[in-house]
Structure 1
Amino acid sequence: MEDKLEILRLLEENGRMDVHTLAKMVDKSEEDVQAIINKLEKEKIILSYAAVVDWSKVNDREGVTAMIDVKVTPQRGVGFDEVAERIYRFPEVKALYLVSGAYDLSVVIDGNTMSEIASFVSEKLSALDSVISTTTHFRLKTYKHDGVVFGDEDDDDKRIVVSP
């Protein structure tokens, strides 16, 4: 069990890590590690492998990301699941979370323009019967995502300089 958790942590940090390196790091054979990974994929514990991209450095890409807080009326017998399913089926939706606090759901969407996102909110999201209210926040800058720090810093020595 501990090996499985360590493999998951390592792959979450670097999904491109090869089986040979993983095996050395957890002190297991490559065959054992591959079998563990295959089982985790089959059990849908590992859902996908993704790259973290700093889109602000890609010249040809303009776009807007919005986080939308949504207050909904839960459905009898299914709670929030039914309305969540209706929302995550929209192709614009990149992520959807059930959250605690003043709102029930947090929706993350990508669009080409702010008006495209506004249209999504007014024509699709707010049009759902169980949606009571929404609040939209636009991402202005990314500092850290999935444990990766964004910025122009180089990977030089990060120790604090101490002078007498």
Structure 2
Amino acid sequence: MSSRAEILELLRENARYSTEDMARQTDLSESEVEAAIEELEADGVIRGYTAVVDWGETDEERVRALVELNVTLDRETSYADIAARLAKFPEVESLRLVSGDYDFDMEVEGDSMREVSRFISDKVAPVPEITQTVTHYVMESYKESGIEFGDGHDDDRLSVSP
């Protein structure tokens, strides 16, 4: 595995590792780790750093929906054109072209179901190339970005009664 790949894996595991921690784990010097990270950022491989938030553990109300989008392309419009238009909306957390029964998989967040619904009906559905939307509201999250959620006190052992 290349040193760039090792650094990427470590950052995916914990983006808060210090360069000293990563140097120790990769047998690189701290300056080599720093240079590699700067190069990865400059090349656009690393696009940002973010926290994984379990909204269920906060007092904040956040609504997340997964939206299936079907599109019909014409000669002048490509998937990339549609994606560029949709990705500009701040409500869109992720957007992917997928194989299967629909074309795009879009993740949307808002402060309420009404806000998410209005966004889909007022901003997404009117896009001429979009022929169908199917919205699935997330009821509970158990794992995000490789991080399992829960109270941390789960005991999966069966109790034994005398």
Query: For 2:76 and 2:21, how far apart are their aligned partners in 1?
Result: 47
The one-letter amino acid paired with 1:39 is E
Give the letter aligned to residue 15 of structure 1. Answer: A
Deviation at 1:114, TM superposition (A): 1.1
Question: Matched residue pairs, number?
Answer: 159
User: CA 1:94–1:19 in structure 2 vs 1: closer, same or farther (change >3 Å)?
Assistant: same
Structure 1 CA distance for aligned equivalents of residues 56 and 122 of structure 2: 28
CA RMSD of aligned residues (A): 2.0
Tell me whether 141-150 or 72-81 shows the greater mean CA deviation: 72-81
| Structure 2 partner of 1:22 | 22
Q: Residues 35 and 138 (structure 1 numbering): CA distance in 2 closer, same or farther, change over 3 Å?
A: same
Structure 1 pair 3–78 and aligned structure 2 pair: CA distance change class (3 A):
farther
The residue that corresponds to 1:139 in the other structure is: 138
Q: What is the distance in 1 between the residues matched to 2:109 and 2:143? A: 18
Q: Deviations over 1:114-145 (max 9, x none)?
A: 11111111111110000000000000111111
Q: From the superposition, tell whether residues 121 and 4 of structure 1 become closer, same or farther in structure 2 (CA, over 3 Å).
A: same
5+ residue gaps, structure 1, are none
Partner-residue secondary structure (3-state), 1:67 = strand
Instruction: Give the Å deviation of 1:73.
Output: 1.4
Segment drifting more, 135-144 vs 108-117: 108-117
**Cα separation, 1, equivalents of 2:126 and 2:65:** 18
* Unmatched tracts of structure 2, length 5 or more: none
Distance 1:31 1:119 in 2: 49
List aligned pairs for 1:1-164, cutoff 5 A.
2-59=2-59, 61-76=60-75, 79-154=78-153
1:55 to partner: Cα distance:
1.1
Native 8 Å contact 1:75 1:82 kept in 2: no
The secondary structure found in structure 1 opposite 2:89 is coil
User: Deviation digits for residues 65-97 of structure 1, max 9, x if unmatched?
Assistant: 001000011243652000111111112111111
What CA distance in whole angstroms lies between the structure 2 residues aligned with 1:33 and 1:155?
37
Please report the TM-score for the alignment, with normalisation by the length of structure 1.
0.90
Q: Please give the alpha-carbon distance, in whole angstroms, between the structure 1 residues aligned to 2:123 and 2:76.
A: 24
Deviation at 1:154, TM superposition (A): 3.8
CA contact (8 A) 1:73 1:130 kept: yes
Cα distance in 1 between the residues matched to 2:98 and 2:78: 13
